[in-house]
A and B are shown apart, each in its own frame.
Chain A
């Protein structure tokens, strides 16, 4: 794989814009890093760091001018691969129209290895047994620029999930930010990536550049805040369905749905129906849904299947880490830590899994 070095991000942003992409990257909005359109590299959050703990997120000032010196933000690529709302179909008179809007050409700048892994998970969901053409169009219109993590967050555990901290696949370009002098190595991951790289001022990477970049990822891997023991998890987790730990965690869970909203792989949705004011067009709109909502398993005339918070939390965690394998041949978790950081009561999936695994002796196996 080709690796070059650039001294500044501005030419990259300009080259992407010239190629017709809207460039979306990390920006500071309110009190968090959010993915938003940037018009120049100056919009990127230089000198911003973060601290992340269960239920806690704070921005900090780094003092070293690094541009990507923070960990996973509440935004992932999900909003772009699976929009929070999308029109599925329209009925006009007696005919149906499939909306075939052209997918916006967006360059996502600053995705982390876990974010790329999450896109690969969503690919399996939406391009699997019934491939979704709208997803495919959006996906193909995305240009993915990864940044290798230098400072993992306190809630990250990508190393134990096998997804990071270094981006190894699934990107067009992957940057590693280096200090003294401030520069970026750029790894080229696709033909499109090579074209953009060719259009900006760069020099070949020296052995020193490459060694420095490797060192960033090596150190990052040793600084993971958390880990999950995934050994045999597909078997033991569903089998732990009657563990007393579920009632314990359910007593702390508010069913607020935050974890599912920030999770970059959670894909569940529901559909809303409506007719316009004039009544001649009826529309079907898909929007994000959450397995924590009571209506998720409603059956008319009966109580919802998962009426208790216990059952809903158990469904979420078991699906993420175990039954996702049965359905999509992969873990549903990529170890980004977002659900831990953004849980208002600080529920930590790594801690829950460790407690559940500790207490699995003697439980029945249901599969």
Chain B
């Protein structure tokens, strides 16, 4: 339960309330991680929260994309290069990217859910030829809140990915689709029985997307969701992150819809 000191190597604002911190241990190498895993990040004297790893930085750092919503996340978003924070982990289950080899792949993100999914897409394009069609569909509140716009454009241009974005509230310059991310499922091409899907976003969005994919014939066990519950420890001892039989810090955050679907359908479970 003792954090490891990490130095903030760089800080990049992504949008008004969100920054990406590149973190590296004060001494020693960065740990390995799998796409979808998270760490517990500690802001001195304020608290510790779970944050997904959103990528590997150029110098091997661990990237974390953090939205300021409360005391700890706000403190972390204000961290400056050179500051020291505490990190434990990586923890939790991962998106089985390798298991999607030979299949069509659908990556569906809502809002900040694109952060952990970015590590999925980066792995997919690192071995592009192993996969069939790859579609990345992204929903965001407004064009201004879209995460990683430049990287999305690069994926679209360079790697034969079908990248589509929809917004809830368009501005007059927005040329693209408007509405929920599930609307984009109509606009992408995939063979449901030979598809793996990776989904992350608000719970309602994930359930809508997963239900839609399963209704089209994607096997529920190949629809992976990243679930979010309160976490105080990350190692299965605080009890907060329970979802029925699951301790989401150990058995999740990534859970397939065959397992999660029935549990999420129970109100206030």
Contact = CB atoms under 8 A, between A and B. Distances in A.
B221 interface: no
A289 interface: yes
A299 interface: yes
B84 A94 contact: yes
Contact of A96 (B73, B86, B245): B86
A241 B264 CA distance: 12
A299 B230 contact: yes
A297 B230 contact: yes
Contacts of A238: 244-245
Interface string B213-245: 000000000000000111011011111101011
A273 B263 CA distance: 32
A137 to B, nearest CB: 13
A268 B232 CA distance: 10
Given A89-B3, A96-B86, A367 B239 contact: no
Contact of B45 (A94, A274, A300): A274
Given A96-B4, A270-B232, A305-B268, A289 B239 contact: yes
Contact of B245 (A300, A305, A323): A323
B269 to A, nearest CB: 7
Given A298-B230, A307-B268, A327-B245, A282 B235 contact: no
A98 B2 contact: yes
- The DSSP consensus for interface residues of chain A is mixed
B269 A273 contact: no
A318 B45 CA distance: 35
Given A94-B84, A241-B266, A327-B247, A273 B239 contact: no
B244 A269 contact: no
A299, A300, A326, most chain B CB atoms within 10 A: A300
Chain B contact patch, size range: 35 or more
Contacts of B235: 129-130
A301 B69 contact: yes
A161 B6 CA distance: 47
A129 B232 contact: no
B47 A132 contact: no
B24 interface: no
Contact of A269 (B239, B265, B268): B239
B70 interface: yes
B187 interface: no
B144 interface: no
Given A130-B237, A327-B247, A296 B269 contact: no
Interface string B41-56: 0101111100000000
A323 B244 contact: yes
B112 to A, nearest CB: 12
Contacts of A326: 244-246
B45 A273 contact: yes
B134 to A, nearest CB: 31
Nearest to B43: A273
B5 interface: yes
Interface string B106-126: 000000000000000000000
Interface in A93-133: 94-98, 125-126, 128-130, 132
Contact of B86 (A91, A268, A270): A91
B262 interface: yes
B47 to A, nearest CB: 5
Given A98-B1, A284-B42, 13 more contacts: A128-B236, A132-B1, A269-B237, A269-B238, A271-B47, A271-B233, A273-B45, A307-B268, A315-B242, A326-B246, A366-B263, A366-B265, A367-B262
Interface of A: 88-89, 91, 94-98, 125-126, 128-130, 132, 134, 238, 241-242, 267-271, 273-275, 282, 284, 286, 289, 291, 296-301, 305-308, 310-311, 315, 318-319, 323, 326-327, 366-367
9 contacts: A96-B5, A130-B237, A269-B237, A275-B44, A282-B45, A307-B268, A315-B242, A326-B246, A366-B263
